[in-house]
Amino acid sequence: MVRSLLNFIALMGFVLLLPFFCIAAWQWGSEDERWLMKVCFCLLSPLCMALWYAVLSRRRFSYLVQVLIIVGGYVGVVWLVKERIITF
């Protein structure tokens, strides 16, 4: 049980710190690190937005708001890839 809790804390820490990791990798990382952070950004940024909304709002909100944030985030990621702002 303790191991599961530590894994959960590590995952949430990574997701919350994802914007800072992306900036660091895009500025000072190698090509492989940049590619990996682009993939992580595309997959995890909507979840990161939902978690940051929960942290910054400091109040309870419904599952509908979480789903809308996540779906809107994935729509934004698809738009960024489609407009070639993020390229692989």
pLDDT digits (tens, 9 = 90+) for 13-61: 877 787 787 788 888 888 988 898 888 888 888 988 888 888 788 778 8
Tally of domains within the chain: 1
Quick count: other Cβ atoms within 10 Å of Cβ 57? 10
Quick count: other Cβ atoms within 10 Å of Cβ 82? 9
Give residue 38's pLDDT: 85
Asked, for residue 88, whether it belongs to a domain, the answer is no
Asked, for residue 33, whether it belongs to a domain, the answer is yes
Quick count: other Cβ atoms within 10 Å of Cβ 18? 21
Asked, for residue 11, whether it belongs to a domain, the answer is yes
pLDDT range class, residue 12, cuts 50, 70, 90: confident
Within the chain, how many helices (H) and strands (E) appear?
A: 4, 0
Asked, for residue 87, whether it belongs to a domain, the answer is no
Residue 38's domain comprises 2-82
- Which helix (H) or strand (E) element contains residue 79? helix 63-82
pLDDT range class, residue 5, cuts 50, 70, 90: confident
Asked, for residue 19, whether it belongs to a domain, the answer is yes
